[in-house]
Amino acid sequence: MQVFNTNSRIIVTCNKRLSPYLVKEIEGLGFSIKRSFSTGVELEGTVNDCISLNLNLRCASQVLYSLQTFQAPTPQHLYNELVQIAWEEYIDVTGYFSVTSVVNNEHITTPLFANVKVKDAIVDRIKEKKGVRPDSGPEFNKAVVNLYWQGSNAEVFLDTSGETLSKHGYRKIPGKAPMLEALAASTIMASKWDQKSTFINPMCGSGTLAIEAALLAMDKSPGFFRMNYGFMHIIGYDEQVFFVERRKLKDKAKKQIDFRIIASDLSADAVDVAQRNAKTAGVDQLIEFHVCDFAETPVPEDSKGVVMFNPEYGERLGVHSKLEATYKRIGDFMKQNCKGYSGYIFTGNPDLAKKIGLKASRRIEFYNGKLDCRLLEYDLYDGTRREEKMPEPYSF
C-alpha cells in the first residue's frame, strides 16, 4: 500500500478540551471532519494530507494515519495480527522506529508491555521478509508506530508527527510556568479577538500568548519552525511534497500588521526571555515589550481589542492572600483602564477568580495538564452601557 496516496482514517489528537479549536483549524484547511471528541478529531485522507496537517495545525498533538483495525483479546492475538501487516513497506530495514500506545486491556498492566509486543511483531516481520532487523528505541525523531487498544478492539497507526505538535518550536527558553503553545493558541482562538485589533498581554512571562497572537495575526504556522516529522521516515516519502507545503506557508504569511501587540511583565528577566523567544519566532519586531507592573501596561484608545492575562494561580485550590490582592487589582485595572476591550483571564483557581469582582460573560473550559481551568471572559463596557458589578460566583 502506498500510504502517501491512499485514503485512510486519520485521527488528529490534541490536549483535552482543545478539539473545538482544532476542528476550526482543520475545516479552515479544507478538510471535512467526520467526528470530534474531547481529545481529537477524525477525518479521512492520505499521508500527503497528513503532511499538510502537521505543518499547519496550532492546536494539535499528533496526526495519526490508520493502518488497520482488528480484534485482539490478548497480547498473543495482538502479536498474531500485527505480524501479518506488511511493515517492510513502511519502515526501512536500515531505519529506526519507536512505539507509543494508549491501552486499556485486562491483560496489560503497563503500556510498555504492549509497546514491546508491537515492536517484536514489527521486527520479526521485517526480519522474516528482509533478513535484517531494524533498530528500535524510545526516541520519537524517526518513524513512530502508535497502538490504540481498548478491550478487544485494536487499531494501529503510523504517527506521522513523531515529536508532539503541541510545542511550536520557538520557545527555546521556557521561563516560569509557561503555557503549552497549543493551549495558548486555543485560548486566543476561543476569545473574541479578530486578529486585526490591539492584543494586550500583561504578565506575559515567556511571551507565549503574545507570540501566538502575533503568529495568528501573520498567518504564520508552526511548520515554519520544524524540519523533522514522523512522515519523513516512512518508505515512499517524497520531500518535494514537504517543500511545496512549506512554500505555501511562506507565501501566505503576512510580513507586517497594522495594529499593536503589547506584552509586559514585572520581571525584567521574563521580558528578556519573551523577547528572545519572539525573535526565534520571527515576531519580535511586531510585539512591544514593557517591564512594568501589569497596571502600568499601556492600553491604546484606538483599535480596541483584547486584553488577556495568565496570572499565577498556585497548584491547588485554596486561599493565597497575595494572589487574592493581585486578582482584585486585575479586575480594577480591566474595569478602569480597558474600557471598550474584551478582557480575559486564564486561571485554574476558582477562589481567586472570585476576587476579580466582575461578572464573567463566558467561562470557557480548558485543562492545563491535569488541572481544570477556565478562560474567563469579561465585556468591559466603555461607559455607554451599564457595567456589571456583581461578584464572581464561588464556582467556575
Ligand X SMILES: C[S@@+](CC[C@H](N)C(=O)[O-])C[C@H]1O[C@@H](n2cnc3c(N)ncnc32)[C@H](O)[C@@H]1O
Asked if 348 interacts with ligand X (CB under 6 A), we say no
Nearer CB in complex with ligand X: 47/338: 338
Least spacing, CB of residue 274 vs ligand X, in Å: 7
Asked if 179 interacts with ligand X (CB under 6 A), we say yes
Least spacing, CB of residue 74 vs ligand X, in Å: 45
Among 312, 351, 377, 392, binds ligand X (CB under 6 A): 312
Asked if 293 interacts with ligand X (CB under 6 A), we say yes
Least spacing, CB of residue 264 vs ligand X, in Å: 6
Least spacing, CB of residue 204 vs ligand X, in Å: 6
Q: Which stretch binds ligand X (CB under 6 A): 29-37, 216-224, 261-269, 371-379?
A: 261-269
Least spacing, CB of residue 322 vs ligand X, in Å: 9
Asked if 205 interacts with ligand X (CB under 6 A), we say yes
Nearer CB in complex with ligand X: 52/342: 342
| HEC letters along the chain | CCHHHCCEEEEEECCCCCHHHHHHHHHHCCCCCCEEECCEEEEEECHHHHHHHHHHCCCCCEEEEEEEEEECCCHHHHHHHHCCCCHHHCCCCCCEEEEEEEEECCCCCCHHHHHHHHHHHHHHHHHHHHCCCCEECCCCCCEEEEEEEECCEEEEEEECCCCCCCCCCCCCCCCCCCCCHHHHHHHHHHCCCCCCCCEEECCCCCCHHHHHHHHHHHCCCHHHHCCCCHHHHCCCCCHHHHHHHHHHHHHHCCCCCCCCEEEEECCHHHHHHHHHHHHHCCCHHHEEEEECCHHHCCCCCCCCCEEEECCCCCCCCCCCHHHHHHHHHHHHHHHHHCCCCEEEEEECCHHHHHCCCCCCCEEEEEEECCEEEEEEEEECCCCCCCCCCCCCCCCC
Asked if 172 interacts with ligand X (CB under 6 A), we say no
Among 25, 155, 245, 265, binds ligand X (CB under 6 A): 265
Nearer CB in complex with ligand X: 61/208: 208
Least spacing, CB of residue 355 vs ligand X, in Å: 14
Chain residues that interact with ligand X, rule: CB under 6 A: 175-179, 202-203, 205-206, 208-209, 265-267, 270, 293-294, 310-312, 326
